[in-house]
Amino acid sequence: MSTPLLVERAGIVRGFNRFYTHQIGVLQEHLLQSDYSLTEIRVMHELSTRGDLTSADLCQMLSLDAGYLSRLVGGLEKRDLIQKVRSVTDARAVQLHLTDHGRDVLAPLEQQTQDEVITLLDSLPEPQQRQLTEAMKRIQALLQGTAPSYLLRDPQPGDMGVVVQQQTALYAREYGWNWEFEALVAETVAKYLRAFDPTCERCWIAEKDGEVVGSVFVIRHGETTAQLRMLYVDASARGMGIGQRLVDECVRFARQVGYQRMQLWTVDILGDARKLYQKAGFALVEEETIDSFGKSLVSQTWALTL
> How confident is the model over 7-41, as pLDDT tens digits?
888 888 888 888 877 777 666 655 556 778 888 88
Task: Read off the pLDDT of each residue in 259-269 and give the average, rounded to a whole number.
Answer: 92
pLDDT of residue 237: 83
Higher pLDDT, 263 or 115: 263
**pLDDT recorded at residue 79:** 93
Contact 249, 216 (CB under 8 A): yes
- DSSP class of 222: S
Find all residues with CB under 8 Å of 97, minimum gap 6, and list them. 47, 52, 82, 83, 84, 85
Q: What distance in Å separates the CA atoms of residue 124 and residue 118, rounded to the nearest whole number? A: 10
Looking at residue 139, its pLDDT comes to 80
Q: How confident is the model at residue 147 (pLDDT cuts 50, 70, 90)?
A: low
The pLDDT of residue 137 is 76
Q: Topology of domain 4-144, per CATH?
A: Arc Repressor Mutant, subunit A (1.10.10)
pLDDT tens for 161-206 read 999 999 999 889 889 999 999 999 999 999 999 998 888 999 999 9
- More confident call, 30 vs 250: 250
- Short-list 117, 115, 77, 75, CA closest to 94: 77
Write the CA distances from 228 to 151, 203, 217, 262, integer angstroms. Answer: 20, 10, 6, 7
Q: Does the reported pTM lie above 0.85?
A: no
151-305 belongs to CATH 3.30.1660.40 = no
Q: Are 118 and 32 in contact (CB under 8 A)?
A: no
Q: Which residues contact 126 (CB under 8 A, 6 or more apart)?
A: none
What pLDDT, on the 0 to 100 scale, is given for residue 6? 83
Closest to 153 (Cα-Cα) out of 212, 228, 89, 78? 212
Q: Exposed (0-12), middle (13-18) or buried (19+): which is 9, by Cβ within 10 Å?
A: exposed
Please provide the distance, in angstroms rounded to a whole number, between the alpha carbons at the two ends of the chain: 56
What pLDDT is recorded for position 246? 93
Closest CA to 102 of 52, 144, 149: 52
Does the pLDDT of residue 148 top 60, yes or no?
no
Q: Are strands 82-86 and 94-98 parallel, antiparallel or unpaired?
A: antiparallel
Q: For residue 119, what pLDDT is reported?
A: 86
**pLDDT confidence of residue 90:** 67
pLDDT in tens, 197-242: 888 999 999 998 788 999 999 999 988 999 999 999 988 888 888 9
pLDDT of 132 higher than 80: yes
Mean per-residue pLDDT, 272-298: 90
Q: What is the mean pLDDT of residues 54-72?
A: 88
pLDDT per residue over 87-101, tens digit each?
A: 766 667 788 999 999
**Calpha distance 99→19 (Å, rounded):** 36
What average pLDDT does the chain have? 86
CA distances from 57 to 76, 99, 173, 266 (A): 17, 18, 50, 55
pLDDT for 302 equals: 93
Q: What is the largest CA-CA distance in the chain?
A: 84
Q: Which amino acid is at 261?
A: R
pLDDT band at 268 (very low <50, low <70, confident <90, very high): confident
Domains in the chain: boundaries: 4-144, 151-305
